Structures are given as structure tokens and as C-alpha cells.
Chain A
Amino acid sequence: MTKRNSNKRPITFTAALALSLVCSFARDINLLNVSYDPTREFYQDFNAAFSKYWKEKTGDAITIRQSHGGSGKQARAVIDGLAADVVTLALAYDIDAIAEKAKLLPPDWQRRLPSNSSPCTSTILFLVRKGNPKGIKDWDDLIKPGVAVITPNPKTSGGARWNYLAAYGYELKRAGGDEARAKEFVRKLFKNVPVLDSGARSATTTFIQRGIGDVLIAWENEAIMAIKELGQGQFDLVAPSISILAEPPVTVVDKVARKRGTEEAAKAYLEYLYSETGQDIVARHYYRPRLESVMQKYAGQFTQLKLFTIDEVFGGWQKAQKAHFNEGGVFDQISQANR
């Protein structure tokens, strides 16, 4: 290399640097999706599909980063400053908490996207050991003495709160609205719980890998995945007579996205969840899709059962949270009584 060449190099280098800076400002977007525990695999697939779609549509490269943990814990992290462009959590109350405590999004966030901002639904089912040795068929089998039930801690896990409310709602309906009986029912149920894990995924690990418990109360998607991918022929799925319609919601964290200039991409990302492709990935990961055409395609993998919503039995998440899971609520009372 001659001297003249090396003299020119800084200029070319600076130009290249400037160019790449300009390009990176315009073209490289990254989003952070803060989600709950069992969605890791789902969002891995979905993110790949969305980046491809976004690249084709706008020509921009987009990277989506994921963070997973117990739903309540993740909400707390966003409140404390984890810069999520979108949150996709297990239940609406956790996103309400972000709106209320950190004011990062408007209180009416749940009306911004179709179907209560929940692109898919799921429900709560039982996973039992092969051949169902304890003969578990419905919720009232879980309170029998000698049945070890695995469910995570409702204080930290969103999935656990759905589990708890499903059990409570079952007994409330059976008892004709008698709250005292429903309370006694969940007390007995939690007396049968030997380990309270902090998240749905940890509970699954406890049941499957550590072999503890006779029945796992689990998200439907988590239970089907466990059967299909982890323990071929080791577990059976049991659907109770009635369960809760779980709606895990998604939303853009406005303040963060606006500041980072990712609003448009974040919005498109969530809307893509409702698209045909998005719904198909949803169903492939055993969540119940909203789109009728996709639901029909995958109908075979979901058990038909009666589902009640949180609004009709508990009057919405705000009320359910206050009555059951806050300090001194029903869950605290039954834990006290069980000690």
C-alpha cells in the first residue's frame, strides 16, 4: 500500500462512518417486548415472522428483543424503568398497574386493540401423570386428601391467579354464589399444594422434571406443549367441567415508544398478532386464536369446555385483584388459615 493511499483512508473512513450512522438512524429499529413466562418459544417464532414482514413492507431491519419472567414481576420492572416498547403480559391488571403507577400509558389502553387487546385466549386445564392414577376429573377432585396439586404463587405469577380464579369460580357457580363456600374450597385446594413456585414455567418444571405432585394446574398452551414436546406418553391432559377464559393482553408502552421513536413499529408489531400469519403462529403454540378461520384449522388440538370470563364472575381484574390477591385479601386469609 502506498503512502498516498493511506492518507486518503481517514476521509473514506469518516465518510463510511457518517453514512452508516445516517443509515442506522433511519433503518435499524429495535423493539423490546417484555412478556410473561411461558411465551418464550411463541415470541421467538413470531418475532422472526414479523421482522420478515416488516422488512418486506418498509425495507427496515427490525430486531425484537425479549424479556420473560413472572407477569407481576415484569410489570414491576417496567414501572421501575425497564424500557419496554410493548408489554405482552398474562393479565390486564398487571398492565393497569403500569398505567397507574408509572403513567407510561393511558388507563383506557385495553380498548385500543380488538378483543380486549388480547390477540389470543387460553384457559386453565389439568396435567396429570400417565393413566391418571388419582382419577382426577374435575376441580373438586383437587381438594381430596392425598392429592398433591402443583400451582404457582398467585402473588407473583399471573398464570397462578388465573388458576386460582378458575377454581374459585367453579365452586362459586356450584354453590349458587356462596362466597364462603368458594373460599373454603380454595383453602382446601391450597392445603394440597406442596410447592408454590414463583412463575408458571417454574411450576411446570417442578411437575415434569422434578416429578413432584399428582396434578399440575396449568395454562392450556403450557400443558399441551408439555405433553407434545417434553413427556411423550408420560402425561395426560384433563379438562375440568368448567374453567376460566384467560385473556393475556398486549399493548404499546406509549411513553417509552414515543421517546425511542418506535411507536409505528410497535403498533404494527401488535397488530400483526391479529393477522392470519400471526394467528397461525399463535395456534401452533397452542394458544386459542381469535380468527375463526385459523381456529377451525386447529380445532382438533383444543378441548371443548364451558368457559366463564373474569368480568362475569368477578367484575373484572381490578375487583378480583383487590378482593383476592392484595394484602389481606382472600388468598392471604386462606394462607393464614392453612398454616
Chain B
Amino acid sequence: MAGAPSTDTAIIRRRVSRSQSQRGTEEPPLIKWTLIVIALAFSLVFLLLPLVNVFAQAFAKGWQAYWNSLTEPDSWAAIRLTLIVAAIAVPLNVLFGVAAAWAIAKFEFRWKSLLTTLIDLPFSVSPVVAGLMFVLMFGLQGYFGKWLEAHEIKIIFAVPGIVLATVFVTFPFVARELIPVMQAAGSEQEQAALTLGASGWRTFWHVTLPSVKWGLIYGIILCNARAMGEFGAVSVVSGHIIRQTETMPLRVQALYEGGSAVSGAAAFAVASLLALLALITLAIKTFLEWKQARDYARAQQLAMPTPESDSDTAFLARQNLR
């Protein structure tokens, strides 16, 4: 994909002729189609069908029942809590993520590899273990339990605990998206800005941030999707208090186990919101990829006549090469 723009059409032409003349290097059609059918059937049965089923079950009792089960006070409280938790956890992780990615991508220091590993830790730890970790620290029998109780600070089985657990499990998303983008962008632009007299802060806002904005947005929506959907870690620290510490995923489980046909449909109604969130996340992701590809193509077009004259577009192009 890094090929010089002017030779692009030549490559395509060559590829077309190759596909006719060099059949021998390709898979036989039978294998090709078998693989395609297997992949399609798999995603149909295991991804699309369950998703469609969620919506079918949610609307099984009609629109009115769907609306009622979402606005019913217990579920409504769960929806609100989930939004509040995401509204706290996501900005915090954007802050941590940008700081961590910046430190890793732009500076050299001694414990860098350790920091990179630490960022990945929440990915490798089971969410349940993450939740238990917080109980061990802040629970009544935990290390800080007595002190917290004496000072009437509630963390576990209250909203702060849920936020903490969510921040923990969603921590890597923003940083992981940003590090490669920032590394690919290099630090020449910042150096140029600094030598031209911009302050560090201004450099960050006007040079660093714009160059990574799509990666950042992508990181944020992934982070948000996980923050709203997290079950394991939140379940451990929540205490499952109805209307107080029950988030949407926990509410789905409670409703599903509610047993009756009505609460079963209500479970799917709440679940459909989470499924919708997944679809929106996917849509934004696809849009971002399309936009990036378009920016890249445009940068190539601009770069074509005099590639070395416009450093801005060249930079843009390079940034998209990650």
C-alpha cells in the first residue's frame, strides 16, 4: 500500500493480467468457495442469527411492551447508571490513554517496556479476578476496609467501585489504539512546532492531537462499548442492589432469571440496547476506516504532482500507513 502514487495504475494493470496468466499460484475454485461458504455460514449462525434473535425476542410482545420494559423504573435506573458509569470511565481512560500513549510513543525512558506490559494487563486478567482484586483491596475485610469504613467512604458495592472496575477493564483500549498511530507519526512535526516557538501544550493541541484524532475516536468508541457492556468485574463489585448498583448487563441477567415470560421479554429489550450499541460501534468503526481510506487517497492525489512540496499531505499519508 506504500507504493509511489504514480505507479499505482501500472500495478493494477499488471495485477489484472497476472490473474489471467498465473492461475497456477491461486487456490482451486473449490477450496476457495468452500472456505467462503464456511466463513459465511459461521458468521451467519454464530453472529448474525443471535443478534437478530435478540431483537426478535425483544419485540416479541410488541412495541408497547418493549417501551414499557425499558421505562420500567428498575430497568430505567440500570440504563441511567450505565450511562453515568461510562460518562465517568471513558473520559478518565481517554486522559490516561493519551498520557500513556504519548509517553510511550514520543519519549525514551527506562521502564518503558514495563509500562507497555502494564497497559495490556487488563486484557490478560479475567474480569472476575479484576473485580475480586478490588474487593480484596477495598472490601470490609480487605487491606483498606477498616480505614474506609471508619471514614464512611463507600467504594465496593457502590458506584465508585463500579466505576473503578470499569476503568480497569477498559484501560487498554485508548492507549492501544493511540500508540501505533503516534509512533508512526514520529516526533518531527512536534519538534518543528517547538523550534518555531510553540509551547508544549500548544504543540499537543495543534500538532499531536489532530494527527491522531481518528485513532483516538476509534479508541473511545471501543472503550465506551466495553464500559457499557462489562459484566464480570462489575458483577463482583456491584452488590446487585436494584435501582442503585445494577448496570444494564446485570439487569439483563436479573430479568432473564426473573423467570416469567414478561421479564424474559424485558431482558431481551434491555439486551437489545446493548446490541444496538454494538451495531453503532461497528458503524462508526466502518465510517472511520472509510474516512481514513478516503483521506489517504486524497493525500495521494494531492501528493502526486509534486510529492516533496507539500509536507502536510505527505505527513498525512505517512500517518495513515500504520
Enumerate chain A interface residues (CB-CB to B < 8 A).
Answer: 32, 34, 37, 40-41, 65-69, 77, 79-83, 101-102, 199, 201-202, 204-205, 208-209, 225-226, 229-230
Known contacts A208-B259, A209-B264; decide if A67 and B242 are in contact (CB<8 Å).
yes
Known contacts A83-B157, A102-B140; decide if A67 and B257 are in contact (CB<8 Å).
no
Cβ–Cβ < 8 Å partners of A79 in chain B: 140-141
Contact between chains at B257 and A205 (CB < 8 Å): yes
Q: Chain B 239-251 against A: per-residue CB contact (8 Å), 1 yes, 0 no?
A: 1111110000000
Contact between chains at B260 and A81 (CB < 8 Å): no
- In-complex Cβ contact of B241 among A32, A101, A225 (8 A): A32
25 residue pairs bridging A and B, Cβ less than 8 Å apart? A34-B239, A65-B241, A65-B244, A66-B241, A68-B242, A77-B239, A80-B135, A80-B140, A80-B157, A81-B139, A81-B141, A81-B145, A81-B149, A81-B157, A82-B157, A82-B239, A82-B241, A83-B157, A102-B141, A199-B257, A204-B259, A205-B259, A209-B264, A229-B260, A230-B261
Cβ–Cβ < 8 Å partners of A199 in chain B: 257
Contact residues of B between 221 and 246, Cβ < 8 Å to A: 239-244
Contact between chains at A80 and B142 (CB < 8 Å): yes
Q: How far is the CB of A63 from chain B (nearest CB, A)?
A: 9
- In-complex Cβ contact of A226 among B239, B254, B259 (8 A): B259
Q: How far is the CA of A82 from the CA of B142 in the complex (A)?
A: 13
Q: How far is the CB of B198 from chain A (nearest CB, A)?
A: 44
Cβ–Cβ < 8 Å partners of B241 in chain A: 32, 65-67, 82
Contact residues of B between 245 and 292, Cβ < 8 Å to A: 254, 256-261, 264
Closest to A41 in B: B258
Q: How far is the CA of A40 from the CA of B154 in the complex (A)?
A: 25
Does chain A have a CB within 8 A of B156? yes
Cβ–Cβ < 8 Å partners of A77 in chain B: 157, 239
Q: How far is the CB of B266 from chain A (nearest CB, A)?
A: 13
The number of residues on chain B lying at the interface, defined by a beta carbon within 8 Å of a beta carbon of chain A, is 25
Contact between chains at A67 and B239 (CB < 8 Å): yes
Q: How far is the CA of A83 from the CA of B156 in the complex (A)?
A: 10
- In-complex Cβ contact of A225 among B145, B156, B244, B259 (8 A): B259
Cβ–Cβ < 8 Å partners of A83 in chain B: 154, 157
Contact between chains at A230 and B257 (CB < 8 Å): no
Q: How far is the CB of A106 from chain B (nearest CB, A)?
A: 18
Q: How far is the CA of A83 from the CA of B145 in the complex (A)?
A: 13
Q: How far is the CB of B153 from chain A (nearest CB, A)?
A: 11
Closest to B145 in A: A81
Q: How far is the CB of B288 from chain A (nearest CB, A)?
A: 39
Q: How far is the CA of A82 from the CA of B241 in the complex (A)?
A: 9
Q: How far is the CB of B211 from chain A (nearest CB, A)?
A: 46
For the A-B complex with A80-B140, A225-B259 known, give 7 more contacts whose Cβ atoms are closer than 8 Å. Answer: A67-B242, A69-B240, A79-B140, A80-B139, A83-B157, A205-B256, A226-B259
Q: How far is the CA of A32 from the CA of B240 in the complex (A)?
A: 11
Cβ–Cβ < 8 Å partners of B264 in chain A: 209
Cβ–Cβ < 8 Å partners of A68 in chain B: 240, 242, 254
Q: How far is the CA of A294 from the CA of B143 in the complex (A)?
A: 49
Q: How far is the CA of A32 from the CA of B157 in the complex (A)?
A: 12
Contact between chains at A37 and B239 (CB < 8 Å): no
Closest to B260 in A: A229
